[in-house]
Amino acid sequence: MPTYPLDRAGEAPDALAMFVRCKRRFKDGKEHRYWSVVENVRVGRRRVVQRHVLYLGEINDIQRAAWCRSIEVVEGTSRSRQMALFPEDREAPAALDCEVVKIDVSKVSLHEPRQWGACWLR
């Protein structure tokens, strides 16, 4: 079950107060995604449960991003900006709600590789 926490990775599970969660269902050969706002609640010393706060239903990506921003406002948290990457020969879709950066992929190279995931791009 995928969850989409608000940019606070690395914190304790109970520190991620509210986030949006997707439930997927296949009906008549088609995938349906239903979204909800859930929050983590600590029960006892070690257990954290997720409480359903609000059912959003089937919403698109722009509406989901708007709900994430609304949750940030309610919680008073700040979020790092998400940037989208697109090939140089194509324009970015107008519906995106993030900053677009153009990169010449042919000039990207890998230097001093280390274990998987800890490499440097120059």
CA–CA gap between residue 114 and residue 120 (Å, rounded) = 8
User: Domain locations in the chain?
Assistant: 3-80, 84-121
Give the helix/strand (H/E) hosting 102. Answer: strand 99-102
Cβ atoms of 24 and 14 within 8 Å: the answer is no
Whole-prediction pTM = 0.47
> pLDDT tens track of the chain, all 122 residues?
555 554 444 444 445 578 888 889 998 999 888 988 888 888 888 888 888 888 888 888 888 888 887 777 777 665 555 555 555 566 666 666 666 666 676 787 777 666 655 555 55
